[in-house]
Amino acid sequence: MTLQKQFTVWLVALVVMIVSLYVFRGILLPFVAGMALAYLLDPVADAFERLGMNRMWATVSVLMVFVLFFIMMLVVLVPTLANQMAGFAEKFPSYMASLQKLILTSSSDFLPRFLSDFDAASVQNNIKDLMGQGAKWIGTLIQSLWNGGQALIDMLALLVITPVVAFYLLYDWDRMVATIDGWLPRDHQYTIRRLVNQMDESVSGFVRGQITVGLILGVFYAVSLSLLGLNFGLLIGLGAGVISFIPYVGATLGLLVAGGVAIVQFWPEPLPIGLALGIFAIGQFLEGNILQPRLVGERVGLHPVWLMFALLAFGSLFGFVGMLIAVPAAAAVGVIIRYILEQYLQSPLYRGTKGNLVLKPQDETEDEA
């Protein structure tokens, strides 16, 4: 088979896979979630096997521990978070009104000193309009998140399928990997294995590391804000930790929400407001200097901009299922692009017809002479 035919075959297979994902996106959630769960828990099952368990007992033990932990979190956290979310949605308009009043009052005191050439009343009206638009946008966002949460709760019945799918995939994981490896084209098996290993390193390094970072940050934010006495501190802290999966977004959004709530709740006391903002500053220091370098590292090869684009693109195309496959897809595309670039840099298309000879610019040649 010629190279052109091989490329055509793989391109057709890729198109069929993408079309299948789009067509069946409404029923794929429990299966994709089960596959992701099996992928994440496979190293733990392998560790249990090294301790002397057979694969069946290792799989059962790992899934039982996970399911018990998941149920415990649902029983302990979900009622509290649901109450705080309902209370936050109810009090959000009053919070925005209080913030708007504080900003307008402050602007009337300070703006004329620095903006004497402008009409202070028009500036205040612009601030009022901006706050109104912001309140409308954030209210819509919160409502969509709440509706999404309701939809996820409604899908708990479907999520019963996820542990079953995860069990069978986790039990047969090594066998499936060996079978798929046997299907690889013999002429390209070593190249494909190398690329797949790089994809696996990127995905496992990022996902497992980022989940750990998000959990640590979420617990830190939630406990610290709750001890400070901030209203809805548990909800804001855990939400910031979960959203920290998207680089810079979780900390920024958490800082804005916590800062706004702290200003309304504690004004005019500067100490608790500063402590609320300082908690996120400490969290960012821990994430950037300790957690990210140690738990995620630089080897994953996923640039934050590329990751955010992948999450938005796949989320808009495939919904929540797209969010689950965005990181593996982004890692795979990144590895393939780096491989293509590596091949290009070694090809005559880059080096030219003179082989490895690299011609220096004329000015550098004249300087050396």
Q: Which residue has the higher pLDDT, 14 or 48?
A: 48
150: confidence class by pLDDT, cuts 50, 70, 90: very low
Task: Report the pLDDT value the prediction gives residue 331, as an integer from 0 to 100.
Answer: 80
What is residue 351's predicted lDDT score, i.e. its pLDDT? 77
Sorted by where each begins, the domain ranges of the chain are: 191-349
Q: 3-class secondary structure for the chain?
A: CCHHHHHHHHHHHHHHHHHHHHHCCCCCHHHHHHHHHHHHHHHHHHHHHHCCCCHHHHHHHHHHHHHHHHHHHHHHHHHHHHHHHHHHHHHHHHHHHHHHHHHHHHHHHHHHHHCCCCCHHHHHHHHHHHHHHHHHHHHHHHHHHHHHHHHHHHCHHHHCHHHHHHHHHHHCHHHHHHHHHHCCCHHHHHHHHHHHHHHHHHHHHHHHHHHHHHHHHHHHHHHHHHHHCCCCHHHHHHHHHHHCCCCCHHHHHHHHHHHHHHHHHHCCCHHHHHHHHHHHHHHHHHHHHHHHHHHHCCCCCCCHHHHHHHHHHHHHHHCHHHHHHHHHHHHHHHHHHHHHHHHHHCCHHHHCCCCCCCCCCHHHHHHHC
What's the chain's average pLDDT? 75
Place of tokens 């950037």: 288
pLDDT digits (tens, 9 = 90+) for 305-356: 777 788 778 777 776 677 777 878 888 888 888 888 888 888 787 777 665 5
Q: Which residues contact 147 (CB under 8 A, 6 or more apart)?
A: none
pLDDT per residue over 269-306, tens digit each? 888 888 888 888 888 888 878 877 777 655 555 677 77
Query: Does 270 sit behind a cis peptide bond, omega within 30 degrees of 0 on the bond before it?
Result: no
Least confident interval from 88-97, 125-134, 251-260: 125-134
Please report which confidence band the pLDDT of residue 7 belongs to, taking 50, 70 and 90 as the band edges. Answer: confident
Condensed to tens digits (0 to 9), the pLDDT of residues 226-236 reads 888 888 888 88
Asked if the model's pLDDT at residue 366 lies above 50, the reply is no
Alpha-carbon span 31 to 169, nearest angstrom: 10
Among the residue ranges 8-17, 220-229, 351-360, the one predicted with the least confidence is 351-360
* pLDDT score at 340: 85
Task: Report yes or no on whether pTM surpasses 0.85.
Answer: no
Phi and psi at 63, nearest 5°, equal -70, -35
Pick from 69-83, 131-145, 197-211: least confident: 131-145
Reported as a pLDDT band with limits 50, 70 and 90, residue 201 is confident
